[in-house]
Amino acid sequence: MNAINPLLSVGLTGTTPIGATSPRPQVAAAEDGPLGNVFSNILNEITRLDSEAASLEKAMYAGGPIELHQVVIAGEKAGVAFELLVEARNRLVEAYQELMRMPV
């Protein structure tokens, strides 16, 4: 279950108070295999999208030349990417459980 813990640290931009900073860790490979590398690369990309959305949000609140729709789009990109990763993880867990139920 330790491989799932990095998912919990990726939050949506609306959950962090204004001015507060939350660490956005780069996730190392969960396993020494192609599937672990794929998920860690995807998680790093989701973390990047979330950081980008948070920086746009801060720039907008600071009065920068950022429009509201840019912030909303960046936040939605990060949210949809995270939901996609969670759904892929759920499908893999479901497939694993189905394999474990099969008689040998």
pTM: 0.63
Rounded-to-integer distance, Cα 26 and Cα 9, Å: 11
Strand segments, DSSP code E, in 1-104 are none
**Domain range list for the chain:** 65-104
Sign of CA dihedral 60, 64, 70, 74: negative
Tell me the pLDDT tens digit for each residue of 35-85. 788 888 988 999 999 999 999 999 999 999 999 999 999 999 999 999 999
Which range is least confidently modeled, 13-17, 19-23, 34-38? 13-17
| Rounded Cα distance, 14 and 104, in Å | 48
CA distance 97 to 49: 31
